[in-house]
Structure 1
Amino acid sequence: MPTENKIRITAFLVFILTILYITTHSIWIPLFLLIDFAFRGSGYGKWSILGFLAEKIVSIFNLEQKPIYFPPKQFAAQVGFIFSLTLLVFNLLEINSLIVSGILLICAGLEAFFNFCVGCYVYNAYYHIKNK
């Protein structure tokens, strides 16, 4: 079950991996993120390595496990999948991916440090407009 602290720690791990990608341009980082976001975005979060690590960190430090409303977070993970796929393709085609990785870095940082989920706001705005 996703909790606020687990989500924020997962975002922090994405933040760190994105910084590593920006500095190394290693193709393995967007590939790893792509797979991890695919699990989390498709409802198979139990297979997410980042989610597993975040859960262990929450457990070790006995952090609060406040449940969250999941659909916006799942949507945000699907957006993360698209960003990771874009990074992977740009890397393979040797296209500069600084803007895409910068956006991913900002979104992950906002979630990790300020509990502000950009994808969740997009999700809520979309469904508010759709159901109006």
Structure 2
Amino acid sequence: MNCPIDFVSINENKARLTAFFVLVLSVVYLVTGFWLIIAFLLFDFALRSFNLGKYSVLGFLSDAIIKQLKIKNKPVDRAPKRFAAMVGLGFTVAILISIFFDQTIIAVSLATVLSLFALLEAFFAFCAGCHVYSIGKTIANKF
């Protein structure tokens, strides 16, 4: 599998904990329908997508928990996680557009997929963004 790389390391445990918070927030959205949760996620994904993760609220929360629980650093390349954040950004934009146009089924479907991706990352270290990237790269190379 081809993942994007940029040779900058981040803590995989932090990325997985952040994915857990995305999972929790997206499930809360699915239960409540409170659209501001998706708006918050959009903002947080945007920060992480554009290398401003040091300002991410979910990143702050993950750092605090890692420090409190003394969870060890597990270095991993930043680029796949950043690409996954871009995918999350795209999903949250699409969810908000669906909400705006009162397309509840589409919004719920997209939020469910977002929840699934976050669950896979948080609990199984399965980066759906890497697979999306690999598929896209394979398709692009055919043209």
TM-score tier, shorter chain, comes to over 0.9
Map residues 44-63 of structure 1 onto 2, 5 A cutoff.
44-63=52-71
Distance in 1 of aligned mates of 2:73 and 2:141: 31
Identify the residue that residue 39 of structure 1 maps to in structure 2. Answer: 47
Identify the residue that residue 3 of structure 2 maps to in structure 1. Answer: none
SS in 2 for 1:68: strand
Deviation by residue 1:30-60 (Cα, 9 ceiling, x = unmatched): 1000000000001110011001101111111
Structure 1 pair 124–3 and aligned structure 2 pair: CA distance change class (3 A)? farther
Structure 1 residue 124 displacement after superposition: 4.0
Identify the residue that residue 76 of structure 1 maps to in structure 2. Answer: 84
What one-letter code is carried by the residue in structure 2 that aligns with 1:106?
A: L
> Out of 89, 98, 117, which is 2:108 matched to?
98
Identify the residue that residue 112 of structure 1 maps to in structure 2. Answer: 122
The answer to whether the Cα contact below 8 Å between 1:3 and 1:68 also exists between their aligned partners in 2 is yes
Distance in 2 of aligned mates of 1:4 and 1:131: 29
Distance in 1 of aligned mates of 2:17 and 2:99: 26
**Count of aligned pairs:** 132
Identify the residue that residue 65 of structure 1 maps to in structure 2. Answer: 73
Structure 1 residue 4 displacement after superposition: 0.9
TM-score of the pair, normalised by structure 1: 0.92
User: Identity rate of aligned residues, in percent?
Assistant: 41
Structure 1 residue 91 displacement after superposition: 1.3
Structure 2: gaps of 5 or more residues = 1-8
TM-score of the pair, normalised by structure 2: 0.85
Distance in 2 of aligned mates of 1:22 and 1:121: 25
